[in-house]
């Protein structure tokens, strides 16, 4: 791997979305904890639905597996029926939170500025925000991938200072490759990751940009993991459907385990 990434450990996060029962989720967490006990070569996490977070955090307490929420509101409290706040996530044991996932942007209409408010709120409560960015198929075919990524990245990080940028993980997820079975080629993904790191270098300095983790998501499976993770600018993976079955997720973890960052 790129020597610039030498001190990094590859990151793998499984996003369950709106799937599983509580019983299934707890059993999965127990089995995952047992399966990767003693493996220190990666950073592993799962993103269960809100209502499972407390139980799963309890199961994983004391392990190296981090628990991430799939979303949060930009305010710490208030009259926002149906929403969840950063301090609530922190209280039940979450360490990370997805922010700006394409399904939040395109299905629920969240814009860059709302997402930026969430990023800053997460940081203020010592949650690690995973900022998700990526273009639609129409935007890619129109040649606008870099324009979209630049806008989402700049707006998402607006007002985030150099002293806290290290707390953020960037996830590049081309919308056209999420849950479609289509995957950006390793070279396509790496090109966008390289572009993202260039922007981060311009805004925060090359040394800091080298240390930031930029992970890829979009129809990640066991059979394309190796090709993706061996790209020099891909620091990990955000896995959707392939994380729902434990054996599939463990296979992906085994591939990452052997990568020398």
Q: Is 220 helix (H, G, I), strand (E, B) or coil?
A: coil
What is the distance in angstroms between the CA of the first residue and the CA of the last residue of the chain? Answer: 6
Assess whether 96 carries a catalytic annotation: no
Question: What percentage of the chain carries pLDDT values higher than 90?
Answer: 87
SS3 of the chain: helix, strand, coil, percent, to 5:
50, 15, 40
Average pLDDT over residues 219-237: 94
What pLDDT was estimated at residue 38? 82
Q: Which entry of 101, 110, 135, 193 is annotated as an active-site residue?
A: 101
pLDDT classification of 40: cutoffs 50, 70, 90 = confident
Q: What secondary structure does DSSP assign to 131-200, as a single string?
A: EEE---HHHHHTT-HHHHHHHHHHHHTTT--TTTGGG-EEEE--GGGSSSS----HHHHHHHHHHHHHHH
What pLDDT was estimated at residue 261? 52
Tell me whether residue 5 is exposed, middle or buried, using C-beta atoms within 10 angstroms of its C-beta: 0 to 12, 13 to 18, 19 or more: buried
Q: CA-to-CA distance for 157 and 110, rounded, in angstroms?
A: 15
What pLDDT was estimated at residue 180? 76
Question: What percentage of the chain carries pLDDT values higher than 70?
Answer: 96
Residue-wise pLDDT tens digits, 109-134: 999 999 999 999 999 999 999 999 99
What pLDDT was estimated at residue 256? 87
Tell me whether residue 218 is exposed, middle or buried, using C-beta atoms within 10 angstroms of its C-beta: 0 to 12, 13 to 18, 19 or more: buried
**Residue 259: pLDDT over 80:** no
What pLDDT was estimated at residue 1? 34
pLDDT classification of 5: cutoffs 50, 70, 90 = very low
pLDDT classification of 7: cutoffs 50, 70, 90 = low
Residue-wise pLDDT tens digits, 64-122: 999 999 999 999 999 999 999 999 999 999 999 999 999 999 999 999 999 999 999 99
Residue-wise pLDDT tens digits, 159-186: 999 999 999 999 999 998 877 777 789 9
Tell me whether residue 184 is exposed, middle or buried, using C-beta atoms within 10 angstroms of its C-beta: 0 to 12, 13 to 18, 19 or more: buried
Q: Which entry of 103, 139, 173, 233 is annotated as an active-site residue?
A: 173
**Residue 260: pLDDT over 70:** no
Residue in 100, 94, 63, 105 with CA at minimum distance from that of residue 238: 100
Q: CA-to-CA distance for 60 and 64, rounded, in angstroms?
A: 8
Q: CA-to-CA distance for 24 and 49, rounded, in angstroms?
A: 12
**Residue 27: pLDDT over 80:** yes
Assess whether 101 carries a catalytic annotation: yes
């Amino acid at each position: 791997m790129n020597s610039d990434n030498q001190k990094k450990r590859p990151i793998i996060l499984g996003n369950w979305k709106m799937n599983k029962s509580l019983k299934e989720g707890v059993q999965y967490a127990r089995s995952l904890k047992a399966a990767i006990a003693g493996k220190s070569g990666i950073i592993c996490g799962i993103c269960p639905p809100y209502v499972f977070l407390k139980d799963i955090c309890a199961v994983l307490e004391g392990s190296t597996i981090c628990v991430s929420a799939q979303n949060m509101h930009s305010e710490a409290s208030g009259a926002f029926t149906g929403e969840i706040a950063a301090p609530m996530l922190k209280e039940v044991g979450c360490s990370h939170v997805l922010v700006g996932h394409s399904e939040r942007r395109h299905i629920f209409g969240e814009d860059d500025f709302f997402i930026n408010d969430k990023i800053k709120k997460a940081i203020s409560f010592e949650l690690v925000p995973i900022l998700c960015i990526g273009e639609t198929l129409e935007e890619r075919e129109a040649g606008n991938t870099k324009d979209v990524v630049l806008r989402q990245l700049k707006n998402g990080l607006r007002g985030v200072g150099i002293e806290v940028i290290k707390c953020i993980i960037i996830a590049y997820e081309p919308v056209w490759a999420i849950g479609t079975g289509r995957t950006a080629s390793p070279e396509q993904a790496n090109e966008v990751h390289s572009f993202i790191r260039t922007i981060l270098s311009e805004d925060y300095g090359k040394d800091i940009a080298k240390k930031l983790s930029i992970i890829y998501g979009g129809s990640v499976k066991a059979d394309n993991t190796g090709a993706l993770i061996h790209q020099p600018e891909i620091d990990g993976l955000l896995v959707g459907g392939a994380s729902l079955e434990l054996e599939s997720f463990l296979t992906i973890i085994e591939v990452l385990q052997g990568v020398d960052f």
